[in-house]
Amino acid sequence: GAVVSQHPSRVICKSGTSVKIECRSLDFQATTMFWYRQFPKQSLMLMATSNEGSKATYEQGVEKDKFLINHASLTLSTLTVTSAHPEDSSFYICSARVDSIYYGYTFGSGTRLTVV
């Protein structure tokens, strides 16, 4: 149980275009989802917290207009990288809290974004 499905797993896009990444909770409702970014050989950095039905909360230094987050339902959160540039190339991972903090977090399989 507690599976988070993330799509696509890999995407290559041209500089200046936008890319949407989806994160779905398959067998539970996730009122809160989290988006992370991971550079090679580094740990995960939290980008933003996505709450169903309200605006996302962004971490310091993360551009809200570049990384648009939508959490329109209890099972779906999306991250759109707008006007992508090569420096946005990274590994993006979503996560959801299972029920409450007592049960920990489950993660998606990640999306490798390459901007050319």
Partner 1 sequence: KQEVTQIPAALSVPEGENLVLNCSFTDSAIYNLQWFRQDPGKGLTSLLLIQSSQREQTSGRLNASLDKSSGRSTLYIAASQPGDSATYLCAGFDSWGKLQFGAGTQVVVTP
Sign of the CA dihedral running 89, 6, 68, 82: positive
Nearer to partner 1, 35 or 67 (CB): 35
Q: Which is nearer to partner 1, 58 or 105 (CB)?
A: 105
Rule CB under 8 A: which residues touch partner 1? 6, 32, 34, 42-44, 46, 49, 91, 93, 95, 97, 101-110, 112
Task: Give the contacts of 60 (CB within 8 A, at least 6 positions apart).
Answer: none
**Burial degree of 13 (CB within 10 A; 0-12, 13-18, 19+):** middle
Question: Among residues 74 and 82, whose Cβ is nearest to partner 1?
Answer: 74
Smallest distance from partner 1 to CB 9, Å: 9
